Amino acid sequence: MSLPLLLIDAFTDQPFRGNPAAVCLLEHEPPSAWMQSVAAEMNQAETAFVWLEKADFGLRWFTPTVEVDLCGHATLAAAHALWETQRLAPGEVAHFQTRSGLLSCRRTGEWTAMDFPAEPPVQMDTQYDFSAMLGADPIWTGRNRMDYFVQLHSGTALREITPDLAAIAELPARGLIVTARADTADYDFASRFFAPQAGVPEDHVTGSAHCALGPFWADRIGKSQLIGFQASSRGGFVEIAVLEQMRVELRGKALTVLTGTLAV
């Protein structure tokens, strides 16, 4: 038996940019241990597993080492895979049952819009020395249910941080979001995301982090429509609309760079 497998670059319209995710299309939900083994074999920041579940699709996300509760770029990749393989018509909405509840994706031209939960960070003092971890002094620290969150004073400081990944790996969270106000008119804010404890030293473009970044910067900038740039080596843009009832809409593009089959 073989299973369709795609490698998709998310939050970009150029190959080898944005954030790659493997997407495995299944007939039914497989055992967790099998999915973790496949994700380790794929060795991408995330591998998404998708199967038909009644009227919706089941969706789970795995890094090379752990399962995660929420992933934006692999959800974008999963929806893109369903439309590209004609499991869904271009005008149909992709509904996913996940560990973070029901998520939906709709296609608008070349863009995919994803309805996600808002995950705003709460300010808090911590026992952790983020200055030492990053080589830069925070001006705001907090966390949400998944990640620690640090604001720096400038985009230059964000680009020049020297993360101590061993120290970040000791944080009792999925990872660390680091952000700063944009120093260009091309976008509203920039960010980076580190999750060595989840098998991802630095993620390229983290959709789920923008569930926190969107509400955070909407409060400070004073607008609900934002553009975020993740300043990783590959880089990528995420458009965000902060909605009512603790929801955000994340928008991005994606393209398939590899198709094949998984022999099992």
Q: Which tokens sit at 64? A: 């090379």
- For 133, the token pair is 């971890």
How many residues in total does the chain contain? 264
Q: Considering 46, 119, 202, 239, which one is annotated as catalytic?
A: 46
Contact call for residues 38 and 47 (beta carbons, < 8 A)? yes
The span from the CA of 26 to the CA of 33, in Å, is 15
Q: How far apart are CA 111 and CA 92, in angstroms?
A: 14
User: How would you class 70 by CB atoms within 10 Å of its CB: exposed for 0-12, middle for 13-18, buried for 19 or more?
Assistant: buried
Give yes or no for a contact between 136 and 152, defined as CB atoms under 8 angstroms apart. Answer: yes
46 is catalytic: yes
**Spatial separation of the C-alpha atoms in residues 38 and 156, rounded to whole Å:** 38
**Residue keyed to tokens 């983020």:** 130
- The neighbouring-strand residues paired with 229 are 190, 237
Looking at the DSSP bridge assignments, the partners of residue 44 are none
User: What is the tally of helices (H) and strands (E) in the chain?
Assistant: 6, 18
User: Which residues are known catalytic residues?
Assistant: 46
